[in-house]
């Protein structure tokens, strides 16, 4: 028979086994979800550290979105016995609500974040408290060193580490770091100096012209590289969470639809020139207005010009002249050329973009074609408009706009190759003719304020009424508000850049007094920056 010692040993082993079983039951069943979530959280932290997000730089190497180590304070509530006293001290040190801190300290958890991205002063205060269960740590987070600069272009990284808007959103999959794999770095086509100057001019337009908003795009017509993509107003991606009006996150250069006004007239003229329906010297007799069905179209200011050439139609921005050109071209051909200039589809830029199907215009009413000839009743985006002008500046060939120049994956650099249309929209002859006409617009017409001494500059103003529907008002017709724009390129006969300036409801009569002078200042800055010599006395 077993001795009493044997029975004692068996009893001890049995009790020990029961204790282990009870503990396992507690961990795996009762607290199973808790520890599972904790383990997953620890795994996510590890994955973030191992797979760091790629960074974003301007073409010159200036940082736009980088990763930084940020100090944080966390608590291990199970180690804290005097929770109310600890909450009082921590809340005071970190400028937090005492009850909110206490709520976290009373949780049944071994890791509870109290505050992220603390300052150096706050960090020192926590050190000085030296409280058991209150610890300092760090996390890697996104930082935008340029603050509000180029904000709609870059977008931001949200609390779930997902890119939102701009580059962060569009290239989220490339930038995301994966386990054991670094995210890809991006080098943009955006030139820091040109972007800075563009944003500076928009901010000044707010002061001088009280604009409600505005965009400036600068593109290289030979490659499609976007050199600047500026919006006003803007925001700080570092403080995106305090923004209540989410519309400010939208990049209006690619996601706003507007009626372009007279900057569309060169598209109408280019189409008719290409078809041989007109020449620059073709004349017509302007009576000040023209009737289309039951509608009457007038010139700006109800002016009557008499006999005019097509060059003068552009110089003086004559609405009836544009209607005359469109009538010579014909509705079907006009529609075909608008399609060729890619106004009915997205540009393919590597950013989120929208476009209008222009359903109302395509209904084929005579009045719609007539008003579209001078840029009313047809909807485009700023990026579509400037892309169409690349065909004028680049011997008839459209280029695809893009903002990422290089994708860097470890030591492998992938260079973005320009995409240029194989079939020209218009011939080189037509493009050169139109360029010369647009030079005359600046030298002899209503766009003299865009001229730059010593350089041939081609360009056109546009002032369009804002429809009630664009303002979200259920009403037909147009409001008193205007979109005022200028688009031009320089040097006119060897273009190195195209600039589009678009201003929303500036306090000026026309774009001649608002957008054109802004174009001049920016174009002169770029010519000096590129050190392009003047082309005439």
CATH number of domain containing 84:
3.90.1310.10
In a domain, 171, yes or no: no
Average pLDDT over residues 256-278: 97
In a domain, 101, yes or no: yes
- 3-state SS track over 248-299: HHCCHHHHCCECCHHHHHHHHHHHHHHCCCCCCCCEEEECCEEEECCEEEEC
Q: Are residues 84 and 225 in the same domain?
A: no
Q: Which of 145, 166, 186 is the last residue of a domain?
A: 145
Q: Are residues 238 and 318 in the same domain?
A: yes
Cα 267–Cα 513–Cα 485 angle in degrees, nearest 5: 30
pLDDT of residue 7: 57
Q: Are residues 202 and 132 in the same domain?
A: no
pLDDT of residue 52: 87
Buried b (16+ CB within 10 A) or exposed e, 273-307: bbbebbebebebebeeebebeeeebebbeeeebee
In a domain, 115, yes or no: yes
Of residues 160 and 268, the one with the higher pLDDT is 268
Q: Which domain holds residue 356?
A: 194-530
Q: Are residues 205 and 79 in the same domain?
A: no
Q: Are residues 273 and 420 in the same domain?
A: yes
For 416-474, write each residue's pLDDT tens digit. 999 999 999 999 999 999 999 999 999 999 889 999 999 999 999 999 999 988 888 98
In a domain, 176, yes or no: no
Q: Are residues 97 and 206 in the same domain?
A: no
Q: Are residues 295 and 398 in the same domain?
A: yes
For 310-344, write each residue's pLDDT tens digit. 999 999 999 999 999 999 999 999 999 999 999 99
- Give the position of tokens 């005071």: 92
In a domain, 170, yes or no: no
Q: Are residues 236 and 104 in the same domain?
A: no
- Whether 37 shows a pLDDT value over 60: the answer reads no
Percent of the chain with pLDDT over 70: 91
The tokens describing 110, both together, are: 């071994």
CATH number of domain containing 431:
3.40.710.10
In a domain, 39, yes or no: no
In a domain, 305, yes or no: yes
pLDDT of residue 181: 79
Residue length, the chain? 537
Please state, as a whole number, how many other Cβ atoms lie within 10 Å of the Cβ of residue 168: 25
Of 178-182, 263-267, 382-386, 526-530, which range is least confident?
178-182
The tokens describing 336, both together, are: 């075909």
Asked whether 176 and 182 are in contact (CB, 8 A), the reply is no
pLDDT of residue 41: 40
Separation of alpha carbons 72 and 138, rounded Å: 5
For 189-220, write each residue's pLDDT tens digit. 999 999 999 999 999 999 999 999 999 999 99
pLDDT of residue 45: 41
What is the overall mean pLDDT for the chain? 90
Cis peptide before 477 (omega within 30 of 0): no
Q: Are residues 382 and 264 in the same domain?
A: yes
In a domain, 153, yes or no: no
Instruction: Name the domain count of the chain.
Output: 2
pLDDT of residue 469: 87
Q: Are residues 460 and 350 in the same domain?
A: yes
- Whether 240 shows a pLDDT value over 50: the answer reads yes
Q: Is 356 exposed, middle or buried (0-12, 13-18, 19+ CB in 10 A)?
A: middle
Q: Are residues 325 and 465 in the same domain?
A: yes
Q: Are residues 202 and 141 in the same domain?
A: no
């Amino acid at each position: 028979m077993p001795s009493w010692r044997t029975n004692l040993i068996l009893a001890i082993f049995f009790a020990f086994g029961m204790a282990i079983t009870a503990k396992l039951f507690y961990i795996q069943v009762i607290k199973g979800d808790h520890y599972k979530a904790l383990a997953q959280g620890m795994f996510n932290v590890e994955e973030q550290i191992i797979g760091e997000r790629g960074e974003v730089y301007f073409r010159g190497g200036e940082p736009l979105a980088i990763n930084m180590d940020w100090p944080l304070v966390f608590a291990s509530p199970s180690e804290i016995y005097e929770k109310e006293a600890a909450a009082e001290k921590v809340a005071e040190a970190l400028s937090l609500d005492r009850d909110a801190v206490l709520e976290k300290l009373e949780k049944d958890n071994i890791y509870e974040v109290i505050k992220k991205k603390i300052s150096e002063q706050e960090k020192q205060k926590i050190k000085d408290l030296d409280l058991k269960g209150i610890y300092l740590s760090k996390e890697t987070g996104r930082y935008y060193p340029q603050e509000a600069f180029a904000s709609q272009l870059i977008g931001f990284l949200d609390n779930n580490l997902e890119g939102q808007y701009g580059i962060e959103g569009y290239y989220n999959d490339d930038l995301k770091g994966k386990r054991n794999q670094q995210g890809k770095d991006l080098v943009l086509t955006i030139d820091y100096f040109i972007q800075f100057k563009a944003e500076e001019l928009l901010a000044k337009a707010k002061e001088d012209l009280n604009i409600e908003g505005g965009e400036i795009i600068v593109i290289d017509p030979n490659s499609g590289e976007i050199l600047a993509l500026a919006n006003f107003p803007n925001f700080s991606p570092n403080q995106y969470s305090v923004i209540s009006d989410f519309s400010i996150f939208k990049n209006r250069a690619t996601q706003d639809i507007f009626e372009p006004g007279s900057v569309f007239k060169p598209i109408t003229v280019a189409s008719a020139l290409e078809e041989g329906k007109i020449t620059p010297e073709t004349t017509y007799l302007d009576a000040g207005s023209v009737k289309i069905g039951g509608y009457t179209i007038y010139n700006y200011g109800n002016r009557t010009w008499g006999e005019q050439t097509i060059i003068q139609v552009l110089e003086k921005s004559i609405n009836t002249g544009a209607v005359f050109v469109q009538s010579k071209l014909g509705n079907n051909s006009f529609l075909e050329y608008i399609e060729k200039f890619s106004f009915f589809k997205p540009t393919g830029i590597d950013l989120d973009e929208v476009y209008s199907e222009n359903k109302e215009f395509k209904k084929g009413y005579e009045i719609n074609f007539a008003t579209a000839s001078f840029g009313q009743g047809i909807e485009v985006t700023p990026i579509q408009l400037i892309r169409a002008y690349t065909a004028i500046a680049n011997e008839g060939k459209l280029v695809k706009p893009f903002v990422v120049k290089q994708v860097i994956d470890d030591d492998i650099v992938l260079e973005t190759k320009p995409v240029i249309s194989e079939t020209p929209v218009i011939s080189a002859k037509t493009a050169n003719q139109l360029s010369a006409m647009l030079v005359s617009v600046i030298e002899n017409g209503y766009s003299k304020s865009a001229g730059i001494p010593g350089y041939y500059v081609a360009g056109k103003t546009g002032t369009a009424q804002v429809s009630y529907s664009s303002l979200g008002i259920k009403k037909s017709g147009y409001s008193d508000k205007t979109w005022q724009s200028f688009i031009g390129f320089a040097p006119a006969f060897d273009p190195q850049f195209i600039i589009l300036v678009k201003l929303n409801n500036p306090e000026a009569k026309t774009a001649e007094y608002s957008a054109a002078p802004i174009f001049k200042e920016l174009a002169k800055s770029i010519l000096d920056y590129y050190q392009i010599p003047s082309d005439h006395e």
